[in-house]
Amino acid sequence: MPAPNDTAERLRRLMGDVLDEQIATAAVTAGHVTQAQLDSARQEQAEVMGEPPRLAAILMRRGFLDDAKVAALETRLAADAFVRPSLETTAEPPPEVRAAAQDPARELGHFVLVALIGQGGTGEVWKAWDRRLHRWVAVKVSTAAPAAGSARERFEREALAAGRLRHPGLVPIHEAGVDRGRVYLVMPLIEGETLETARMSARRALEVVRAAALAIEHAHGQGIVHRDLKPGNVMVDRTGNVYVLDFGLVCLREDEATQLTQPGDVLGTAGYMSPEQARGEAAARGPTTDVYGLGATLYHAVTGAPPFAAPTFAAVVERVLHDDPVPPGRLVPDLDRRIEAVVLRAMDRAPARRYPSAAAFAADLGRILADEEVLAPASGVAQRLMRLIRRRRGAVATIGGVVLIAAVVASARGLLSAERREAVEGLRQMARVSLESALALRRAGDLAGMRRLRPALVAAYQQARGRGAETAEVEYLVGRMYRALLDDDEALSHQERALALDPNSTSSLYERAVLLSARYGRLVDTAETELRLREGDRPAAETAWPELARLRDEIRHDLARLQALGGPPAQTAAAQGILAYHEHRWSEARVQLAAAVAAEPLREEAWQALARAAESERRFTEAEATYTRAIELDRGYLPHAIGRCELRRRLRKLTEASDDATAVLALDAGSVEARLCRGATRTRTAHDEISDGKDPTPTLDGAQEDFDRALAARPSAAAHAARAVVHRYRAIFAERRGGDPFPHLATAEHDDDRAIALDPAGATHWASRARTRTRRGILMHLEGGEPGPTFTAAERDFAEALRLDGNRPEFWAWRAELHFYRARHHVRTGAAPDAEFAAAEEDMATSIRLYSGDGLSYVRRGEMRTWRGQAVADAGGDPLPLWAQAREDLDRAVHDLPRSAEAWVTRARLLTARGLRLGRGGQADLATAAADLTRALAADPRYAEAWSAQGHLRAARGDRKGAAEDLRRAAVLKPRLRHAGVR
C-alpha cells in the first residue's frame, strides 16, 4: 500500500503537470510562443527517456519564456480559474461555514466541507469554503482508498485531463492535495441545475446540449474523451452558462499504453452508456462514444426519461446492447421530427453510423435552432428499415417481404442521395462549427485557439470549391468567419459570392450591409478630413466623393431587402443603427443599436457602433460603460478594448488606457492598433512627466518601442507621426537638461516626412512637421542663429494642415507659437514685431474658441502678452494694459496646472517685469514672483528656467550673491540659456 505521503507526492507531480500544460497553452495565447514552437517542445519532451522535463523549462531554455513571464502567466491562470458568474467572495466566513467547522471531519486542508452537492463514480463533490482565499469553491474528494489503484488513478487522471482543458464550458482544476489519506481536487463552484432535474423547453434543451457538445469537441481536440456524458454531468448555472462536469472516466487517447481500463471493463452510467462501453470494447475510447452520450442526454432532456430503464443494472446493460431506444416522438407526440432524427442518429448502436464528431452533432442541433433541415432524417429512416429487416428475416419470402424489400431499395436510393448530399454539405457543417467554435473561443479570450481553426477551414473551402461544392450558406459562414478574424475585405468577397448564389439570403444581406457600412465610415472620415466637412455638408461630400453615394445606396438597398424578406428585427435594427452612426445621426443610431444589443447581446458590431455613437455625442461615461459591457461579453473582440483605450487616453485616464492596450497585447502581441494606443498613452504620460519635472526617458523608451514594433508589423503614416512626437519630447527634455536636442529633432522630421509621404492628405502629419521645424527654429533663435528660413518652412506646413482641417484647435495654438517666436526674433534683430505678436494672439484666440481653452493655452497666451507688452515698453509705450490681460491668463493657468513649473515661471516673469516697471508700487508683484519661483522649483528642481528667472529677480532686488549662484545653476543645467526670457 502506498503511504499517504507517496500519494501526496504523486498529486504534487500531477498538479505540476497540469500547471505546466496550462502555462504552455497560455504562453501561446499571450503571444510569447507560437503553436509550432510549442509542438516542437512537446516533441522534445516526448523523446526524453525517464522523467521528462517540463514544457515551461524547455521553452525557457529555448529563450521563449523567462521567470517573469512564467510568473505572470501563473498569476493570470490563477485568476482566470475563478472568473465565474456564480462565484461570491467575502472576507468573513458565512454562518454555515462556522457551523460546519465545528466538525473535525469537515476539515480538509485549508477547506471546510459545508454541503454535499453530488456523488460520482470516483468521489463526492462538496460545496466548501476556502479559508486561505475567503471564497466558495467546489471540492471533489476521492471515495477510493489510497491503495485502490485504478480508482485512485482515475481520480488523478481527472485532474490531469481537466488541467489540460481551457474552454468556457469546461470547469478547470485549480488545486489538488491529500489530507489524512483523502485525495481531493479543488474547482470553481458552479451553482445551478443539471439536466437530470431541470425542466426546460425543447428549444432550450437543444441550446444547452449543443453548448455541451461544443465543449466536448474542444476536449476531443486535446485528445480527451469524457466517456460518462449524462444529464447529471451537464449543468446550467444561474446566468445560463453551460458546463460539462466530471471527467472521472476520461480517456487520454494519446496514452494508449497506460489506459486505466482494459477491454472487458464496463464503466459509465448504464442508461446513457454506449453499446461498445457496455461490451467493454476498445472502441469505447473513441469520440463517438461521447456522441452517443450527448444523444442520450438530449433524449432525457426532451422526454424527461432515460433512453433505457430496467430494474437492475444488468437488465439495463442488456437493453443497451440489443435494443433501440423508444423513438422520442412516441413519448412526446408533438416533438419536432428533426430532434428525434438527430437523437436516433447520435444513439445508433453502430459507432460508424453516428455523427462522426461532437461538432457534427452540434451542427445539426444548430440547424434545428435556425429552422433548417438536418442531415439526420434520411439516414435515420434507412437504418430503421434495415433494423426491421434484420428482425423479420422470415418475411422476405412473403409478399409482404417483397413490399418490404421494395421499401428498403427505395430507401437505399434515398440513402445514397443523402450520402452525396452529406459529401457536398461536409464543408457547410465544418464552416458552421468552425465559426461557432471560433466565436466561443474568442469570447473566452482564446485568440490563439480561434486562429488555429482558420487554416483547416480555408483548406477545406478551397478543396470543396474546386469540386463545385458551393452553397450560399457556406459562403456566408466563411465570410462571417473572416469578419470574426477582422479581415473585412475577404469577408465581403465571400458575402458577395453568397448573394450571387442566393440573392434572398438575409444573413448575407445583413453581413454585406455591416461590412459596407464600415467601409462607408472610413471613407467619410477621409472625405471630412480632406474637404473639412461638418454636419450639413454631406451633399458636397458626395459630390466630391461619388463612392459615398454609391455605398450609401447599396447599404440602403440591402436594408430594404432585409425588411422585405422578413429578416430578424434585431438584425435589421443593428444594420440601420450602424449606418446611422456612420452618417453621423448619433441619436438615431443609439436608439437602434440599443434595441439590437438588448435583443441579441452577442452582436459585437452593434456594441462597437453604440459605444462610438455615445462618444460622438460626448456621452463619455456612457461610451466607456458600453465598451466595458461589450468586453465582458466578448473578451477577444479586440476593437472593444482598443476603442476603450483610445477613449480613456483622450479623457486623460492614462493608467487605465495603458492597461487596456496591455490586455489586448496579452491576447494578440501583433495588434498594431494596441501598440499605437499604448504608445500614444505613454507619450502623453511623458508629456506630463516633463511638466512635473520628472525624467520621461523610460516612458519615452516604452512609447518608442511600441511605435517601432507597430512600424515593423505594418508601416503607416499614423505610427511615423506618433514616433515623431516621441523624438520631439526627447528634444524638449534634452534642451531642458542641457543636452543637444538637434539630433532628436532631425529624427523627428524624418518620421514626419515619412508620414506625409504615406498620407499626404493627413492634416496631422503636416502639423507635426510644422511643430518640429518650429522647435528647431526656436533653438536657432535662442542660440543667436538665423531661424527665418526654418520658420518659413514651418509656416507653409501649418498652412497646408489648416487647409486640410481648420477646426483643430491645437493647429492654431501651434502656429501661434511660431508667430510668437518670429516676433521675438524680430525684437532681437530690430524688426517691427507687432504684426507677428498680433497674429500669435489671433491664432491663440481661435484655438481657445474651438476648444474652450486649457491650462497650457493660457500659459502660452499669457507669455505672448507678456513679451508683447515688453516690446511696447521698449518702444516707449505703456505695457500695463497688455500685462493686465497676461495676468488674467496666467492666474488661470497656475490654477489649472498647479504642478507645472512652466506655468509658475511664466507668471513669475510677468510679475517681475511689472514689479520693476511700477517701482515702489511693485513690491507686492515682486514678492508674488519670488513665491511663484519657489513653487516652480518645488515642482521641478532641475528646471533651468526657474533658476534663471530667480537669479534675475534676486539681482533686481539687490541680492547679487544669490543671483550669481542661481544663474550659475541655470547655466550648468542648460548651457544654451542666455537670458531670463528663455523658455
Q: What is the pLDDT of residue 883?
A: 93
pLDDT tens-digit profile of 761-792? 888 899 999 999 999 999 999 888 899 999 99
Which of these ranges, 177-186, 541-550, 802-811, has the smallest mean pLDDT? 541-550
Helices (H), 1-108: 4-29, 35-47, 55-61, 67-80, 95-100
Q: What residues act catalytically?
A: 228
Report, in angstroms and rounded to the nearest whole number, the Rg of the chain calculated over CA atoms.
Answer: 36
Sign (positive or negative) of CA dihedral 582, 588, 593, 594: positive
CA proximity to 974, closest of 701, 733, 725: 733
Mean pLDDT of 928-936: 93
Residue matched to cell numbers 430496467: 310
List pLDDT tens digits, range 370-380: 888 887 744 34
C-alpha cell at 328: 422520442
Measured from the Cβ of residue 241, the count of other Cβ atoms closer than 10 Å reads 17
C-alpha cell at 36: 509550432
Among the ranges given (265-279, 607-621, 684-698, 732-746), the one the predictor scored with the smallest mean pLDDT: 265-279
Q: Which of 621, 616, 619, 614 lies closest to 593 in space, CA to CA?
A: 614
Torsion of CA 725, 727, 730, 731, to 10 degrees: -100
Under the banding of pLDDT at 50, 70 and 90, the label for residue 664 is very high
Instruction: Evaluate if residue 386 carries a pLDDT over 90.
Output: no
What is the arithmetic mean of pLDDT over 648-654?
90
List alpha helices for 692-760, DSSP H.
697-713, 717-736, 742-758
What pLDDT score was predicted for residue 16?
Answer: 59
The pLDDT, as a whole number, for residue 532 is 40
Separation CA 248–CA 236 (nearest Å): 20
- Under 8 Å between Cβ of 485 and 671: no
Average pLDDT estimate for 642-646: 92
Residue 34 has pLDDT above 60, yes or no: yes
User: By C-alpha distance, which of 694, 692, 726 is closest to 707?
Assistant: 726
Angstrom distance (rounded) from CA 793 to CA 786: 13
- Residue 467's pLDDT is 63
Instruction: Check residue 12 and give its pLDDT.
Output: 52
Confidence of residue 121 (pLDDT cuts 50, 70, 90): low
As a whole number of angstroms, the distance between CA 568 and CA 573 comes to: 9
Name residue, grid cell 499614423.
Answer: 718
Least confident of 207-211, 749-753, 938-942: 938-942
pLDDT of residue 979: 40
Higher pLDDT, 871 or 269: 871
Q: Which of 443, 440, 501 is nearest to 476 (CA)?
A: 501
Tens of pLDDT, residues 595-629? 988 888 888 989 989 998 998 888 999 999 999 99
pLDDT at 158: 55
Please check the confidence at residue 221 and state whether its pLDDT lies above 80. Answer: no
| H-only helix segments in 255-322 | 275-278, 287-303, 313-322
Largest Cα–Cα separation, the chain = 133
Q: Average pLDDT, whole number, for the chain?
A: 80
Question: 182 phi and psi, to 5 degrees?
Answer: -100, 120
- H-run or E-run covering 125: strand 123-130
Q: Report pLDDT digits (tens) over 35-93.
A: 778 778 877 776 666 667 888 888 888 888 887 888 777 666 655 444 333 344 455 78
Q: Which residue has the cell 529624427?
A: 747
DSSP 260: S
- Angle, helix 202-221 to helix 399-443, in steps of 10 degrees: 70
Q: Average pLDDT of 208-233?
A: 87
The region, left, alpha or beta by phi > 0 then psi within -120 to 50, assigned to residue 372 is beta
How many percent of the chain have pLDDT more than 90? 30
161 pLDDT exceeds 70? no
pLDDT of 505 > 80? The answer is: yes
Alpha-carbon gap, residue 723 to 752, rounded angstroms: 9
- CA–CA distance, 726 with 714 (Å, rounded to integer): 19
What is the model's pTM? 0.55
Answer whether 502's CB lies under 8 Å from 533's CB: no
Q: What SS3 state is found at 174? A: coil
pLDDT score, position 420: 40
343-352, 778-787, 794-803: which is most confident:
794-803
